[in-house]
Amino acid sequence: MNMLEIHNLHASIEGKEILRGLDLSIAPGQVHAVMGPNGAGKSTLGAILTGRPGYEVTEGSVTFMGRDLLAMSPEERAWAGLFLSFQYPVEIPGVSFTNFIKAALNATRKARGQEELKAGDFLKLMKEKMSLLKMKGEFAKREVNAGFSGGEKKRAEVFQMAMLDPSLAILDETDSGLDVDALKIVSAGVNSLRTPEKSFIIITHYQKLLEYIVPDVVHVLKDGRIVKTGGSELADKIWKEGFENID
């Protein structure tokens, strides 16, 4: 069974159709890159999959691990194992990362019928994932994304992903705002989470990130549908020739 099946997806925002018949299948363990020019619908795809308010699905279906994803609330999708690394992570001043991620993790465990993590085990897990992403100890006490640079926010997104351990993670332009060093750290973090069961969708403009996180499949999204699918060599071709010549 595929982890994710998207069939003939049409979606619009404020009455404007963005996705126009998108098909995509992702098997467990695969990394798919979705590339495309501005306005192609890349971020809309991430928004639809995670249930962001304001987007309307007008046609098509999305099945995630055998379940009708579109019928689920955003938190139910998270509990089922879906994660989105936001292109623009949200600042929540006054709430510490520790409390935030603890609330997320424990709610997820509860929904899955697991016990809450003991305080000691939780802190151990925090430390482990922080060191994976080379984050300083003070990070745990900081308020969620408040006053973070663009790069720090992206790194914090991948940290949250590592904590929540999703089955399918969507990385929406995680490379934007990262310098080369941070890109390497974030990529190494993502690569360390790759297993034969977990899948990833990497949404990006550039092929740079795909040199570090090598995808199994590359898709080109244009005008709301996938116009070309290939192996990782497709990313290089796009880099050399641009999106214009792909159809």
Partner 1 sequence: MAERVYIAGIDEIPAKISVGKDELLSMTVIVFPGFSGSIPLEVLLKGSGSEVQLRGLYISSGEDKLSFDIKVRHEAPMSRSSQLFNGIAAGCASVSFHGLILVPRDCQKIKAFQENRNILLSESATVETSPTLEIYADDVECSHGATTGSLDPTELFYMRSRGIPETEARTLQMLSFLAPVLSGISDPVLRRRIARRVEKAVRGL
Q: How far apart are CA 116 and CA 109, in angstroms?
A: 6
Q: Is 207 in the site for partner 1 (CB under 8 A)?
A: no
Cβ 180 to partner 1 shortest distance, Å: 28
Please, what sign has the CA dihedral across residues 56, 2, 39, 177?
Answer: positive
> Binding mask 147-176 vs partner 1 (x if CB under 8 A, - otherwise)?
-------------x---x------------
Q: What's the token pair of residue 83?
A: 């994660």
Cβ 106 to partner 1 shortest distance, Å: 9
Contact pick of 10, 28, 65, 79 for partner 1 (by CB under 8 A): 79
Q: State the Cα torsion 102-103-105-108 to the nearest 10°.
A: 170
Contact pick of 1, 15, 53, 179 for partner 1 (by CB under 8 A): 53
CA-closest candidate to residue 33, choices 192, 186, 234: 234
Contact pick of 1, 14, 16, 94 for partner 1 (by CB under 8 A): 94
Reported in sequence order, the residue ranges of the chain that DSSP labels E, i.e. its strands, are 4-13, 16-26, 31-35, 55-64, 67-68, 82-85, 92-96, 143-144, 168-172, 199-204, 217-222, 225-230
Q: Is 108 in the site for partner 1 (CB under 8 A)?
A: yes
Q: Is 100 in the site for partner 1 (CB under 8 A)?
A: yes
Binding site for partner 1 (CB under 8 A): 50-53, 73-75, 77-79, 83-84, 86, 89-90, 92-95, 99-101, 103-105, 107-108, 111, 160, 164
